[in-house]
Amino acid sequence: MIRAYSQRILPPYTGVVQIAESARARAQSFDGVNWNIHYTSGVGQSNQQQERQQGYALDRGYYHVGSVHDRDLKPYIVPTCLDTADVGDSITELYEFLQTARIPFPAADQYEYWLLDGADESPLALIFSCCEEAQMSTYPAQTEWTAIPHSKMKIDNTAGEQARNEPPVNHRFQRLIARRAGMRPRTAWFKRSQDDAGSFPGSLVREDWQDQAEHDLCQRYIQRKAPRLLMLQGLTTPDRERLEIAAGRHAVEVEEYFPLYPEIVDQDRMSAIRVEARLRRHHPRQTRVKEQDGKSKDAPMSKDMRIIEN
């Protein structure tokens, strides 16, 4: 029996990982196309420590025993301490499952750890998520939400912001979330269900900012993050549509994450974005447009919540 599920990568949210698990092996993918296959030895902790020192075992006694690249299986040489036949059978079982599996897998990380709004203690920003209630106690009591750093997701400052030497949008939005959480930030675990979508921010952070400058800062961050946010399951149709529109400005990223998009609102728009991505990869200089000032720019594309623990 193989269990197949996906889980968000946090913190900060950067995407989703696909996982297929059998009794003794697991396959993991961060793009829905290429997979790493691991095998668990089932040995005791002392033996695991010895095997790790020898360069064999991964965390929790897992070994890296194979990979799948462009649908081709590549088994690795395994250490002699393992049952070669069982490893081979486990790899084959997972590989055959992946050949017909529908990607992305259903989201399983229904336990969520949220930073709360300082005014009304409603969910403000998602910090952690996990798949099992027993795992919640393994996470630290963190009260800080982190944005994707500027070095990993660049958001250009405006000319005025550059003149004032302001920090990157990512950093400023992170500070904005911290201020809204208050001087004594609170957090809580929630168990989410499909019926809870309206009670939690679809983009994993609150977007209802009263100050226009704060609202604009939030939207600049979310719109830049749109190609990653489209990997989320459970988005409303209006949210998914506006994210698809925003993601059109980052076509190459859309093409990279596309296999993990659970839904598409406008197939024609998404096809045009992906065509643009391929053109940019093959002819990067020919897929830029010139502004009047001579600078180049990318061409745009036409309550019912249950608190588990405080």
Give the model confidence (pLDDT) of 70-94 as tens digits. Answer: 889 999 988 888 889 999 999 999 9
Asked if residues 50 and 61 have their Cβ atoms less than 8 Å apart, the reply is no
Neighbour count for residue 61 (Cβ, 10 Å): 20
pLDDT of residue 309: 44
What span, in angstroms and rounded, lies between the C-alpha atoms of 234 and 225?
Answer: 17
pLDDT for 12 equals 96
Which residues are CB-neighbours of 193 under 8 A, at least 6 positions away?
110, 304
**β-pair partners for 164:** none
On whether the CB atoms of residues 229 and 259 are closer than 8 A, the answer is no
Instruction: Classify residue 205 by its DSSP letter.
Output: B
Cis peptide, bond prior to residue 11, ω within 30 of zero: yes
Question: What does the chain come to in residues?
Answer: 310
- pLDDT value at residue 49: 40
Q: What is the pTM of this model?
A: 0.83
CA nearest neighbour of 36 among 61, 7, 2, 63: 63
Nearest CA-CA partner of 127 in 180, 205, 198, 193: 205
Encode pLDDT of 16-57 as tens digits. Answer: 999 999 989 999 999 999 999 999 876 544 343 433 333 333
Contact in structure between 127 and 145 (CB atoms under 8 Å): yes
Residue stretches of the chain with pLDDT short of 50: 44-58, 287-307, 309-310
